Amino acid sequence: QAELRASEVLERAKQGRVLAARKLGTSLSREGMTQEARRLLEREIAHEPAADLCIALGQALQSEGDLAGAEAQFQRALTLLPGHGEAFRALSAARKVQPEDDLPARIDKALARRDQPAPLRWRLHFAQAKALADLGRHEAVFGHLHQANRLQRKAFAYDFETSVSLARASLV
């Protein structure tokens, strides 16, 4: 029992460190401190490889203009966590998909998994829409955009009338 609890505590600590490093790296990058973000994320990945850290590093590298390095990090994230929706979304956005590219098939495979949580699924649909648009398969793009938007709307419930009512109430 104690070993199990200790294991759970260590796993939560690891997840907390990864989350903190990702948020700090992303914040540094957004503030234009991409070199600092890159160094932090590289150090943390060396300590504990994690898909979310690889994605954040890839985005920092994109900001610095290192597109090949960014793509390598997105691919590494997919190696660490196959089917990761944000990694596929970032990879799809990072380049123009070519006819010989296996990216659409890989995204289809990830979409076929039913254990994907909604936030990852809507990112997969956005990634597939971008990939198919690059390939000129526009008839299929809108189905993926519809699915992505439907799932995203569920995740971020928004009601215009409620927002208007809250705004009016705050004016009184």
pLDDT at residue 116, as a whole number: 80
Q: Say how far residue 87 (Cα) sits from the centre of its chain.
A: 5
What is the sign, positive or negative, of the torsion defined by CA atoms of 96, 114, 85, 89? positive
pTM > 0.85: yes or no: no
pLDDT at 161: 82
For residue 115, what pLDDT is reported?
A: 85
- Are 64 and 38 in contact by the 8 Å Cβ rule? The answer is yes
Q: What is the pLDDT of residues 21-47, one digit of tens each?
A: 899 899 999 999 989 999 999 999 999
Distance CA 83, CA 108 (A): 10
pLDDT (0 to 100) of residue 7: 76
Whether the Cβ atoms of residue 40 and residue 21 lie closer than 8 Å to each other: yes
Tokens of 152: 């995203």
Q: What is the pLDDT of residue 156?
A: 77
- Per-residue model confidence (pLDDT) at position 166: 81
Q: Which ranges of the chain have pLDDT less than 50?
A: none
